[in-house]
Amino acid sequence: MTENRVYNFSAGPSVMPEEALLEARRDLLNYKGSGMSVMEMSHRSPVFAEIFDSTQEKLRKALSVPDDYEILFLQGGATLQFAAIPMNLSCGKTADYAVTGNFSNKAAKEAEKYCTVHLAATTAPEHNRIPKQNELSLTPDAAYFYYCANNTIYGTEWQYIPETDAPLVCDMSSDILSQPVDVSRFGLIYAGAQKNMAPAGLTVVIVKKDLAGKELPFTPQVMSYKTMIETGSMLNTPPCWCIYMLGLTLDWLLERGGVTWMQELKRERAKRVYDFLDNSRFYLAHAEKDSRSDMNVTFRTNSPELDAAFVKEAAARGLVNLKGHRIAGGMRASLYNAMPMEGVDALVAFMKEFEREHV
Amino acid sequence: MTENRVYNFSAGPSVMPEEALLEARRDLLNYKGSGMSVMEMSHRSPVFAEIFDSTQEKLRKALSVPDDYEILFLQGGATLQFAAIPMNLSCGKTADYAVTGNFSNKAAKEAEKYCTVHLAATTAPEHNRIPKQNELSLTPDAAYFYYCANNTIYGTEWQYIPETDAPLVCDMSSDILSQPVDVSRFGLIYAGAQKNMAPAGLTVVIVKKDLAGKELPFTPQVMSYKTMIETGSMLNTPPCWCIYMLGLTLDWLLERGGVTWMQELKRERAKRVYDFLDNSRFYLAHAEKDSRSDMNVTFRTNSPELDAAFVKEAAARGLVNLKGHRIAGGMRASLYNAMPMEGVDALVAFMKEFEREHV
């Protein structure tokens, strides 16, 4: 890292590629001769339209999004999608929800305002594993099956795409762009940008076009997928700066080999930490082995006091934001796309050292 | 202007203070020794909490917001507020809407999904004036009275605060922070940030706390004012970067004398253009004199071809985004808070020159 930067293990918003930040800084007052910052551009100007369109194209390329899917750039975060999804897709039917953590639980609770929710699976209260296909209780003729691909708080990640008759709806907020994904298996994929994509304030929705157009009558216009498809995400002013930063992140990703490259990298990052954890009797990993997240490694020592000391001493070494989420405790190392391997190695070295001192 | 920047007359997103952009650039990779960009910060980290809290305080100071009002930092733009306002405040009653332009018209249309809308006034189709107090048709016991303080497309601006028994709800997207405002006269003030405050992606809502808590049952959680008040706008991840930029804009404003200073400046900016227009027989101002906006000056020549030539030649001189909105035609010069007086003078000089050449 340059410029006295730290290794930032925050679960989100989180570390971004330094290359993207450097380019943003270079063009901050004058984007490519336009005479203005991207922050100052009319969203309807040709110079911004080019940024917008090329970012959509790069995302379509990175995830091989088929033509019958629309990519939307929205606002409101995953939390607004918790409502938008049943508003647009439930059509008076029952929707199946797999609850494997905090955010899928919140999504299911919010959906109850708009449709009948069937709990297709739950891993509460431990949330240390992902249910297997044969554990899923599926409703015949469900409106959709909803799950969250990666659970940031508990550090678990679906290792397979569920088989269902209903359209799959997936919250990929915390593992999008970390691996290839067969988009054609899904009805809708969405992600808050603030982990693997861009600064907080942008929500990416990838929706099969033929699912749109059946929204409940009281759906706000800006939450209607149909309206946002028809207006190219420009019914109103989009979060322009975040879209620009997503474009820079995608440049960085695509120039290096895209999601195939990233998948190798993310596996290697996670492996280095999990291998160490598995050989340690001092630290305890939270998630079951076959459900482990490559993005968020959750672990603890045998005492909350030691956990607190770990977090504090790590921060003094420039390894920051390692404290676990308040509802899970312990530690959490988020190893998102932009985390350099040197950061992972520095973390493991510190874990070793801390163990030696406190065992 | 430094660094080969243009004078940007865009109606929004629009010009920002160069001082704010310079500071953002300076700290882009490492905010005040934190070792990371503001774009990478956990919204729950102490370093970001300080940015968030101080920005709220600065806004409270700049607009003298009383203690019984909450300042919310939300997403979704004015367009999501078009739905959120009736969802939260209509309580099954009729709401009065004054339609004086495109955005108040859209707000009224969206509100029809959630309550009975009464047209308290309309200036359609010309929208070249603001109705007088005695023209307002007020519903007894209305849930609220809604208006848009400044109409960007048509270049008109309310010169008074309406007298009503119902709580006033005001869209100040395009003139907030341009003058002192007696917040205590309002039930709710809101503004998309992308004109006078910050980059697109942040919506500021200033709401009297005792109005919250009566939302319709299907209100998405993130759209409930009550929930957002209770969570300090942190039910979910806020648009952190935009909030940071708002803080930098407020520093710039407050250091120079706040909204009192800005009011003098905005009047002087507008006066220089209107005075010229009033002495010209070549250009025609759209708005009636007593309804004119200080923020957006709308005018035209007697031919669409000349209008197009004006816009094109101005751009070649570094005076950009002067084309009127597509539904109004002609020209529009947006003179938002960050427009330097030199930009105004350069515009007037060009208008003179263009007139001499084409009269």
Nearest-5° angle of CA B144, CA B71, CA B158? 50
Encode pLDDT of A168-217 as tens digits. 999 999 999 999 999 999 999 999 999 999 999 999 999 999 999 999 99
Report, in angstroms and rounded to the nearest whole number, the Rg of chain B calculated over CA atoms. 21
Cβ-defined contact of A30 to B4 (cutoff 8 Å): yes
pLDDT given for residue A2 in this prediction: 62
Q: What CA–CA distance (Å, rounded) separates B118 from B140? A: 11
Cβ-defined contact of B40 to A16 (cutoff 8 Å): yes
A263 by DSSP, 3-state: which?
Answer: helix
Cβ-defined contact of A199 to B3 (cutoff 8 Å): no
Encode pLDDT of B32-91 as tens digits. 999 999 999 999 999 999 999 999 999 999 999 999 999 999 999 999 999 999 999 999
How far, in Å, are A222, B56, B216, B238 from residue B83 at the CA level? 9, 24, 11, 19
All residues of chain A having their beta carbon less than 8 Å from the beta carbon of residue B83 are 220-223
Which among A10, A25, A222 has the least Cβ separation from residue B29? A25
Q: What CA–CA distance (Å, rounded) separates A330 from A323? A: 7
Q: How many CB pairs under 8 A join A and B?
A: 223
Q: What CA–CA distance (Å, rounded) separates B231 from B157? A: 34
Q: What CA–CA distance (Å, rounded) separates B228 from B232? A: 6
From A290's Cα to the closest Cα of chain B, the distance in A is: 29
Structural tokens at position B48: 């970001």
Please give the domain boundaries of chain B with CATH numbers for all domains.
21-255 (3.40.640.10), 258-358 (3.90.1150.10)
Note if the pTM is more than 0.95.
yes
Cβ-defined contact of A28 to B24 (cutoff 8 Å): yes
Amino acid occupying residue A186: F
The segments of chain A whose pLDDT lies below 70 read 1-2
Q: What is the 3-state secondary structure (H, E, C) of A257-317?
A: CHHHHHHHHHHHHHHHHHHHHHCCCCCEECCCHHHECCCEEEEECCCHHHHHHHHHHHHHC
From A79's Cα to the closest Cα of chain B, the distance in A is: 7
pLDDT given for residue A3 in this prediction: 72
Nearest-5° angle of CA A348, CA A353, CA A357? 145
Cβ-defined contact of A320 to B35 (cutoff 8 Å): yes
DSSP character string of B29-66:
SSSTTSSS-GGGS-TTSHHHHHHHHHHHHHHHHHTT--
CA-closest candidate to residue A117, choices A132, A125, A106, A101: A106
All residues of chain B having their beta carbon less than 8 Å from the beta carbon of residue A75 are 75-77, 80, 201, 239
pLDDT band at residue B3 using 50, 70 and 90 as cut-offs: confident
Q: What CA–CA distance (Å, rounded) separates A107 from A113? A: 11
pLDDT band at residue B2 using 50, 70 and 90 as cut-offs: low
DSSP structural state of residue A160: S
Residue A304 in contact with residue A328, Cβ under 8 Å? no
Q: What CA–CA distance (Å, rounded) separates A248 from B336? A: 29
How far, in Å, are B11, B154, B274, B292, B339 from residue B351 at the CA level? 19, 20, 12, 19, 17
Q: Which of B51, B75, B82, B202 to mutate to test the interface with A (most CBs of A within 10 A)?
A: B75
Cβ-defined contact of A28 to B29 (cutoff 8 Å): no
Q: What CA–CA distance (Å, rounded) separates A76 from B224? A: 13
Cβ-defined contact of B77 to A236 (cutoff 8 Å): yes
Which among A10, A221, A238 has the least Cβ separation from residue B42? A10
Which among A13, A30, A39 has the least Cβ separation from residue B43? A13
Which among B5, B14, B83 has the least Cβ separation from residue A35? B5
Per the listing, tokens 């004119």 go with B292
Mean predicted lDDT score pLDDT of chain B: 97
First-residue to last-residue Cα distance in chain A: 31
- Strands A7-8 and A319-320 come out as parallel
Amino acid occupying residue B262: M
Q: What CA–CA distance (Å, rounded) separates A29 from A46? A: 18
From A37's Cα to the closest Cα of chain B, the distance in A is: 8
Residue B42 in contact with residue A321, Cβ under 8 Å? yes
- B1 has pLDDT over 60: no
Encode pLDDT of A134-177 as tens digits. 999 999 999 999 999 999 999 999 999 999 999 999 999 999 99
All residues of chain B having their beta carbon less than 8 Å from the beta carbon of residue A218 are 113-114, 216, 218
Q: What CA–CA distance (Å, rounded) separates A117 from A102? A: 16
Q: Where are the beta strands (DSSP E) in chain B?
A: 7-8, 69-74, 94-99, 116-122, 145-148, 150-151, 156-157, 168-171, 188-192, 203-208, 284-285, 296-300, 319-320, 331-334
From A89's Cα to the closest Cα of chain B, the distance in A is: 15
Residue A9 in contact with residue A332, Cβ under 8 Å? yes
Q: Give the list of residues 6+ apart from residue A316 with CB closer than 8 angstroms, or none.
A: none
Encode pLDDT of B226-282 as tens digits. 999 999 999 999 999 999 999 999 999 999 999 999 999 999 999 999 999 999 999
